[in-house]
Amino acid sequence: MSGSGNDTTPDIGTPEDIEAFIEFATLNIAANYDITILFVVVLYDYILTVKTEVNYVWHQKFSGATVIFFVNRYFKFAAAVIFMFEAMAAETPKVPSLSSMSYIQS
């Protein structure tokens, strides 16, 4: 600012844009926590019951009930993993970085 001759303030968006970004970021963080909790609960359930599953299901003759059991058991685990990856890949709105602001001189 001093000696640069450029006293313009960078355009970081309207107050509504900033408010929308803050709301989006807050909801995104909450959603990531929810998905992480979902994954942990599903994993905890799996760890608690895998010994029983091995004893009662894996050593039995393969049947339609076995298929239903495995679909029911592992679909939720696969869905939790997919939801986690989708949440991590979610795009966030672009905001100007400090290095791109015109009033900062190196």
What are the boundaries of each domain within the chain? 15-91
- How far, in Å, CA of 78 to CA of 39, rounded? 10
> Whole-model pTM?
0.51
User: pLDDT for 48-60, tens place per residue?
Assistant: 999 999 998 888 8
Tens-digit pLDDT profile for residues 28-75: 777 777 777 878 888 898 899 999 999 988 888 889 999 998 898 888
At residue 106, the pLDDT reads: 44
CA distance 50 to 96: 49
Question: 43 CB contacts (<8 Å, ≥6 apart)?
Answer: 77, 80
